[in-house]
A and B are shown apart, each in its own frame.
Chain A
Amino acid sequence: MATAAEPIDEIKRRIDLITNTTARDEVQAGAKLIDVREPHEWDEAHLEGAVHVPQGELLDRLSEVAPDRSERIVLYCRTDNRSSRAADTLQNLGYESVSVMQGGIVAWQEDGLPIVAAQGLTPEQRMRYSRHTLLPEVGVDGQVKLLNSRVLLIGAGGLGAPSAFYLAAAGVGTIGIVDDDVVDESNLQRQVIHTTDRVGMPKTASAKASIEALNPDVEVIEHRTRLNAENILEIISEYDILVDGADNFPTRYLLNDASVRLRKPVVSASILAFDGQISTFVPYEGPCYRCLYPVPPPPEMAPSCGAAGVLGVMAGVMGLLQANEVIKLAAGIGEPLVGRLLLYDSLGTRFTELKVNRDPDCPICGEGAPEIPESEMGKFPDYEAFCAGEPVVRA
């Protein structure tokens, strides 16, 4: 039985070492190839078709990676020391056909054989995002997807501020922010991306400064404007995922209609007092905002946070639930809130999940719904009267 103290040369006498071309042929013929190096080595380069199991995890994961002890197995590491120790362990456990690729990936590369090269993360990024890449569901591939993703936040307020902060920390490569407001003292109770010394500064500029200080990987694009039927298609067409934190219904309906037209997913949340709602609308895969809410409530049933107040922490909870949805959509993992509406009651600390169905008669995404002219996007019955009742309508 090998011990940690046993010299590697002794161990190698018990191991079947094969050349890299033999190893290649064996793998092509169906042998299982296992890379026992550490994650950072795997990320830099590995052999095509290999399974990655660091040597220290091998025993714990054997039933998952090699349940059949008669299976043909080829191990490799950087040279061939760690893989020889691993092979010895497997042989002692009764594995019948284990070999080690002599010279490891170093000799493989010296012989000019092909590798799967580094996957787009710099050494700094490997450190920064290591807690993401350690997650098998994310990994380097998922992190690269995040870095390549383009996310637009509608509003840098109660929802957009926490959402933007965490999406930036997570390494979402491009974050656009639509907001034409400036930082006000009354925002600071919940809009954590802004600071006291930036009162009076445009919110987009304040958010950009905070994001750049947090993560230089992120490019922030400021849209210091309000969304309207004239500019919305051009603005949202540049992004993959839209995050709705708008404070008014006209903007929500407008964003819905434009996002369905361009088939962009929208992560939509709203907050009031101690309550929040969130859902993810993926056009034609699930319902849209109009399927859920065919018409908005009258203004007296839709007070704003400015009028009714909102618990600051609540905005953070809902904004981060939005960020969580964005990460899942961008990395292609998990189960987004499509066709589901999640309600959060922060006073009772209760979550309630409701089903949201596609409306076959939806004027925007229903079967056979005609494409509406751009001038009609965002409109709903009594739109003019509704908007007349609102002193200010902003994105």
Chain B
Amino acid sequence: MRAAWRVFELSIGQMLWSRRTIFMALVVGSPVVLALVARIVQAAGVAPLRVNGAPLDAAGLFGMLIWILYLRFIVPVLGVFYGTALIADEVDDKTITYLFTRPIRRGAVLLGKFMAYVVCTTLVVLPSVIFTYFLIVPVREIAQSFGSLVTDLGLLALGLAAYGSVFALIGAALKRPLVIGLVFAFGWEQVALVVPGYLRQFTLAYYLQALVPHAAPSDGVVALLQAISTGPAPSASSSLLWLLGAVVVSLGLATRAVERREYVLEQ
């Protein structure tokens, strides 16, 4: 663990002050900007917040942002871009030799980088959720929705860890991990969720969505397909267990892959 901590200290700065951070800032900043615009429009009394012409209350709007922006886009996309890069970036930059020649276990390198990823992304994403929440939800409604906010923060942190660990495994074990990761996050996960049967149980989104305290947005055909094909949602406890299991198993397999794989650096 000490070795992993040293790698964490080294990696967190590299991760924060890289060009990828600009992308992350844009991604997590967009809900805050949207919330700010909604607040200004609301305060100016120009028009109430609406979806398809219907008035939407503050908690409803916040829940929609959690579903559509954070859960379906931001968490998977950050998981893909950061998780697959944990090892792959070092290989591409040909700097992995420097890490692997240190007197530490190779697995500690992956664990340290994964910890850096989790800390870096949660400390950027969760404050963005907090800002969005306080911009949208009026003070008088905080008492009713605060429990949901805490649940949201917890499930987003767990989602970042789960997606990050799966993509860390992909990055450690496969070539072209970014492409495979994008196909997994925005192809497999989306399709498997609406296919009748048990396939959805092999997605992370299935378990994450079961933890969301807000109503799912109803978006026509997709909602109909989900309503037809989806059986009872898994319980919160089983969802937590499956997600934590996914983190542990993925990290274990990723560590094993890093320990055993021979990385050939292209000249």
A and B form one complex: no
Contact residues of A with B, CB < 8 Å? none
